[in-house]
Structure 1
Amino acid sequence: MAARFKMSKKGVGQLLRSPMIQADMLFRAEKIEAAAQGIAPVGGPGDPHSGRYKESFYVKTTARGGRRRDRATATVGNRAYYARWVEYGTEKVPAHHVLLRAAQAGGD
């Protein structure tokens, strides 16, 4: 006799918000954060912000993330006010894509 499976949407939702999944998201985000810190540009000797970008990465987790607020998520970001310019570049400064490259590498 073939096995039967009946999915419980409530059960799947509880699984997606569980501490186990949240811990895994945190683990992955911390690996991405470490990779981003490893490839982050650091200014030269005359730069007043030398090292600030590299030190400004953070990780935050929540059990109510995603588009529908129905799953555990972790976010890696940077608190430096000029982080978007480092990531995407300007007319004078090339884009470094630090978080993009760290996420693509998967934190390896």
Structure 2
Amino acid sequence: MADHSLAHRAQNPTRTETMHLPPTTPPTNHGRTVAAWTTTWGVVLGGLVAALGVAFTLVWLFWVGMGVIVLALVLGKVLQLLGHGQGGAATLARAQRRGGH
């Protein structure tokens, strides 16, 4: 009968794991980019406006909030395409000016 206790398995490893590291170092900004912040705060603001529209039963205010959300998503994508997103030229240049972080 084999010993399958946790202590036995911890003391007697049965296999080795292979590590697969990325070929390059990932960006160090953790998503803190102009495009990400613009999108995030635009969606939060649009959600707040839409929620107020629901709370006060104002259908037009709800749709204005939904429009702000869509506008924020489009604006975030445009900023990303212009290089202000993760790995973009403007983001990398800004990181170089700040010392890499």
Shorter-chain TM-score above 0.5: no
Q: Which of the two has higher C-alpha Rg?
A: 2
- In terms of fraction of residues, the more helix-rich structure is 2
TM-score (norm 1): 0.27
- In terms of fraction of residues, the more strand-rich structure is 1
TM-score (norm 2): 0.29
